[in-house]
Chain A
Amino acid sequence: MLKYSARRLLEAIPTLLGVFILSFFLVHAVPGNPAVIMLGTHATRHNIAMVTQEFGLNKPLPVQFLIWLWQLLHGNLGTSFTYNQSVWSLIWQNVPRDLSIVGIGTLLASVLSILQGLYQAKVRGSLPDQAITWVAYFLYSMPIFWLAVLLILWFSIDIPIFPPGGIQDPTQTVVTFGTWAAHIALPVICIALATVAYAGRFMRASVVDSLVQDYVRTARAKGTSEFSVLMKHAFRNSLLPQITLLGFSVPSLFAGALFVEEVFNYPGLGLLFWNAAGSRDYPIILGTTAVIGVLTVAGNLLADLLYGLADPRIAYD
């Protein structure tokens, strides 16, 4: 297990390097000099030359890449062209906000989908089971941005319970827990519903799968209560696929978050990236891509390792 973990960690290095190389060169394939964009339409040729020089944009691309990589390895993602602030600090401002909506949303979705899966497997074939399956189908087929728009329409316009977007009321200067909770409510609900739509389906399938296994039959034959069969056998064994599913869904979580942030005007990594792409802010584009790339690789790795820990039958050589 230790050897396997070490090997997987080593294998992640060339993958990450590939991510960095590919994203760097792709970003620089975009035409247009960022210095021109940064300075606006009134820039003189002299100013453009100065800024180009200052940000090292006149060096050959491979050299620029090596400089960027060297800085990256030292934990320096550079300075944003447009915000005139270090990219790390920008990312650190946004990550907690993202974590609060994506993290709480996913957590909520996990709990809900486990309950849904257990319940549906318990009553499988019945009317409630089929009804839930159809609702999940519908939810699963809904684009996340439409869901977000509908949530605003229903819960902040038709029945004004929650604010339609942003992170604080314009009149307030101090963000209290109440306003924080109210502002993240709709984004959290949106992410939770979108996640539960596929995680719940998955959970139901794996619980049904484990309920027909021999060990469950043995447990039943020994007179184990139905509750205990569900919790001790079916539930624990169905957790595995759930772990893997979540571990592998890091990139789609971020993509979903971009839409959610866009609709609810909620500042996070997605919006940061989105605005940076509009203004050709290379350091931010590359920095967020690198961070998401690292998180994706880490998510996959973690899912793999947790899977091994949770299922002792899987032997790694």
Chain B
Amino acid sequence: MAALPETAVNVLAPQPPKRELSREWRSFWRNPLAIAGMVLLGFLVLFSWVGPHVWTVNPQTFDLSKIASPPGPGHPLGTDSVGRDVLARLMLGGQVSLVVGFASAVVGVTVGSLYGLISAHFGGIVDSVMMRIIDITFAIPGIFLLLLFDSIFTPSATLLVFIIAILSWQGIARIVRSEVLSLRERDFVEAARALGASSWRIITKHYLPNALGPIIVYGTFAVGNGILTIAGLSFLGLGLPPPNPNWGGMLSDGMNYLFVNGWWLVYPPGLLIVFAQLGANFLGDAFNQAFDPRLRQGK
């Protein structure tokens, strides 16, 4: 049958059930988890970007007369192994952690969503092959890939974004795929197809808006995981090369002062990583509860 003009498609096709975004957002804003998550992440953003304007000590200045000195005047959180100010370094390190965590989540979720969309939309052999590839990449330990990439390339923030994204796209690909597979059989999609809507139209107007909930939820958790991964990499010494500070790297540096009770090198960086993770997890759970009607009613 000849394709109808777009306008006819619009008029004739049974409209998909309207997603009442407003109700979901209202539920989201009423959730204390959402507020807690935003307060935590907001604090970290302020700390990392506004902080350096308030606390203007240079995070890279060495002071070998003050190696690993405890908190005191001039250094509210003490100094590290070469006498640099810990507070200033935490702020600078926060910028890298948050940007890399956020960017890697965006890249990973975009790639994964597209992958899942394509896999489910075409189905058949394409789907089987694409899903098998996911199984394979899932069975290779992520740390193995990290080590390899790290030894092939010199780490830069951009490279870290892509490495972390490579480790995290499979989950959302599977979720979007199963979402699209169930949408494909729904009446409104069937009708759109029967009326000659293009693949592009079906994907952008029907699949994506309906899969948006899980994508947002997963993406939020992915930000937290990205921050955790870069901290872990830096902890192992695979992060950005010095003198770039990172919470994970500062923590591993602090391990050398465990036996002399260098608590100011152990607690602050760890707590900041936890704050970031907690913030992302709170927000993710709040989104999850807002988008999942079962959880929303249960609340």
Q: Do A and B bind each other?
A: yes
Taking CB atoms, residues of chain B closer than 8 Å to A129 are none
Mark interface residues in B127-154 (1 if CB within 8 Å of A CB, else 0).
Answer: 0000011011111111111011001100
Mark interface residues in A107-149 (1 if CB within 8 Å of B CB, else 0).
Answer: 0000000000000000000000000000001101111011001
Please determine whether B144 and A141 come into contact, CB atoms closer than 8 angstroms: no
A145 to B141, CA, bound (A): 18
Taking CB atoms, residues of chain A closer than 8 Å to B99 are none
Q: A30-B152, A146-B270, A157-B259 are in contact. Are A259 and B139 (CB under 8 A)?
A: no
Interface class of chain A by DSSP: helix
Stretch at the interface among A12-20, A166-174, A179-187: A12-20
> Which of A22, A142, A143, A157 contacts B136, CB < 8 Å?
A22
Q: A141-B278, A143-B232 are in contact. Are A26 and B139 (CB under 8 A)?
A: no
Q: A23-B144, A26-B148, A30-B148 are in contact. Are A143 and B259 (CB under 8 A)?
A: no
Q: Whose C-beta in chain A lies nearest to the C-beta of B260?
A: A157
Please determine whether A254 and B141 come into contact, CB atoms closer than 8 angstroms: yes
Please determine whether A146 and B274 come into contact, CB atoms closer than 8 angstroms: yes
Q: Whose C-beta in chain A lies nearest to the C-beta of B279?
A: A141
Q: How far in angstroms is the closest Cβ of chain B from A95?
A: 15
Q: Whose C-beta in chain A lies nearest to the C-beta of B267?
A: A150
> Which of A16, A137, A152, A274 contacts B139, CB < 8 Å?
A16
Taking CB atoms, residues of chain B closer than 8 Å to A142 are 270, 273-274, 277
Q: Does A297 contact B (CB under 8 A)?
A: yes
> Which of A143, A164, A251 contacts B273, CB < 8 Å?
A143
Taking CB atoms, residues of chain A closer than 8 Å to B278 are 137-138, 141
Q: Does B248 contact A (CB under 8 A)?
A: yes
Please determine whether B147 and A277 come into contact, CB atoms closer than 8 angstroms: yes
Q: Whose C-beta in chain A lies nearest to the C-beta of B228?
A: A143
Q: Does A190 contact B (CB under 8 A)?
A: no
> Which of B151, B232, B255 contacts A149, CB < 8 Å?
B255
Chain A contact residue count (CB 8 A cutoff): 44
Q: How far in angstroms is the closest Cβ of chain B from A260?
A: 12
A270 to B147, CA, bound (A): 12
> Which of B133, B135, B248 contacts A143, CB < 8 Å?
B248
Please determine whether B140 and A19 come into contact, CB atoms closer than 8 angstroms: yes
Please determine whether B281 and A141 come into contact, CB atoms closer than 8 angstroms: yes
Q: How far in angstroms is the closest Cβ of chain B from A98?
A: 13
Please determine whether B274 and A292 come into contact, CB atoms closer than 8 angstroms: no
The residues of B with any CB-CB pair to A shorter than 8 Å are 132-133, 135-145, 147-148, 151-152, 224, 228, 231-232, 235-236, 248, 251-252, 254-255, 258-259, 261, 263, 266, 270, 273-274, 277-278, 281-282
Please give me the 9 A-B residue pairs with the lowest Cβ-Cβ distance, nearest first.
A141-B277, A18-B136, A146-B270, A296-B139, A141-B278, A277-B147, A293-B139, A15-B135, A19-B139
Q: List 8 A-B contacts (CB under 8 A).
A: A141-B277, A143-B231, A143-B273, A146-B270, A146-B273, A150-B266, A296-B139, A296-B141
Q: In the complex, given contacts A16-B139, A149-B255, A164-B258, what are 13 additional A-B residue pairs having Cβ atoms less than 8 angstroms apart?
A: A18-B132, A31-B152, A137-B281, A142-B274, A146-B270, A150-B266, A251-B141, A254-B141, A263-B255, A277-B147, A285-B144, A296-B141, A297-B139
The residues of A with any CB-CB pair to B shorter than 8 Å are 14-16, 18-19, 22-23, 26-27, 29-31, 137-138, 140-143, 145-146, 149-150, 152-153, 157, 164, 251, 254-255, 258-259, 262-263, 270, 273-274, 277, 285, 289, 292-293, 296-297, 300
